[in-house]
């Protein structure tokens, strides 16, 4: 079985969010990490590899620095890494990103493609389903459990108040939830091996069946009209009182605000 996992390097918005004194985001101070949903997708692929045997290829699109997440993925156990990087690919929205990644994946053999549900910087959840459309294969989003049965996958697909057990013929694309699993750690030796492995770097010219009008900033149907950092609501009062005083404090506030 051949599995392609799409991953993205993102700033760590979880816990590591740093603010400038004016309340805006200090992007420079934030760590770059492998997107959590993508890491769960990678872990799912590695578990399938452990169980059924598979070759796992990780693909990322980004700046040359994104090599780091490919190395990390290989240190966890991925077999190959492909970095898609080119200045003409910059500024892509989800449409142009999905056409680009689909163009890269067309060069590969695959039975299964796994992406994270969404990235923590954009939170769109769009790229996975869009890739599947470009490749004309079925998609199962929001996977909370994945099994392989013959030439099919059986996936628990999460909804708000239920889940569906869905069977799809491979090749297909699955988007993974971070709840899917607890990703494994790298190993020390795996890290050093990962840096010895060859990394494939592809540019625009390596993308298969992709029109220039569908890539990068120019190929993005959506355009940013305005972007600003949200200044967070300031802190209100903070008090340290004994339990009885705390209770009367809260009750008073609820009265003042006509809640009771």
- Site residues for another protein, 226-245, by CB under 8 A, read 226-230, 232-244
Contact 4, 112 (CB under 8 A): yes
Contact range with another protein by CB under 8 A, out of 45-53, 56-64, 105-113, 131-139: 131-139
Window 141 to 200, contacts with another protein (CB under 8 A): 141-142, 154, 158-169, 172, 178-179, 185-189, 191-192, 195
Q: Give whichever of 186 and 201 is closer to another protein, judged by the CB atom.
A: 186
CA angle 18, 21, 25 (to 5 degrees): 35
**Minimum distance, C-beta of residue 182 to another protein, in the bound complex (Å):** 10
Contact range with another protein by CB under 8 A, out of 45-53, 79-87, 199-207, 221-229: 221-229
Query: CA 49, CA 1: separation in Å to the nearest integer?
Result: 8
**Minimum distance, C-beta of residue 11 to another protein, in the bound complex (Å):** 7
Query: CA 191, CA 189: separation in Å to the nearest integer?
Result: 5
Tokens of 100: 């680009």
Contact range with another protein by CB under 8 A, out of 49-57, 80-88, 199-207, 222-230: 222-230
**In Å, what is the CA distance from 99 to each residue of 62, 128, 158, 207, 209?**
14, 11, 26, 9, 9
Q: How many residues does the chain have?
A: 260
Q: Binder to another protein among 122, 145, 201, 217 (CB under 8 A)?
A: 122
């Amino acid at each position: 079985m051949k599995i392609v996992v799409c991953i993205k390097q993102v700033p760590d918005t979880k816990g590591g969010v740093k603010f400038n004194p004016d309340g805006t985001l200090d992007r420079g101070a934030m760590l770059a990490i492998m997107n959590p949903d993508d890491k769960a997708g990678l872990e799912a692929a590695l578990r399938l590899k452990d169980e059924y045997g598979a070759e796992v290829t990780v693909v990322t699109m980004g700046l040359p620095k994104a090599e780091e997440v490919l190395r990390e993925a290989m240190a966890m156990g991925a077999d190959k890494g492909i970095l898609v990087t080119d200045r003409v690919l910059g500024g892509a929205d989800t449409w142009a990103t999905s056409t680009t990644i689909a163009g890269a994946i067309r060069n590969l053999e695959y039975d299964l493609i796994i992406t994270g549900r969404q990235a923590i910087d954009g939170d769109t959840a769009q790229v996975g389903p869009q890739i599947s459309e470009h490749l004309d294969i079925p998609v199962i989003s929001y996977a909370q459990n994945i099994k392989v049965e013959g030439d099919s996958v059986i996936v628990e697909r999460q909804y708000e108040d239920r889940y569906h057990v869905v069977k799809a013929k491979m090749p297909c694309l699955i988007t993974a939830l971070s709840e899917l699993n607890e990703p494994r750690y790298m190993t020390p030796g795996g890290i050093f091996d990962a840096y010895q492995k060859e990394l494939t770097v592809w540019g625009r010219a390596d993308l298969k069946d992709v029109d220039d009008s569908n890539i990068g900033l120019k190929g993005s149907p959506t355009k940013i009209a305005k972007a600003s950092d949200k200044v967070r609501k300031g802190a209100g009062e903070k008090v340290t009182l004994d339990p009885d005083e705390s209770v009367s404090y809260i009750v008073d506030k609820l009265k003042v605000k006509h809640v009771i």
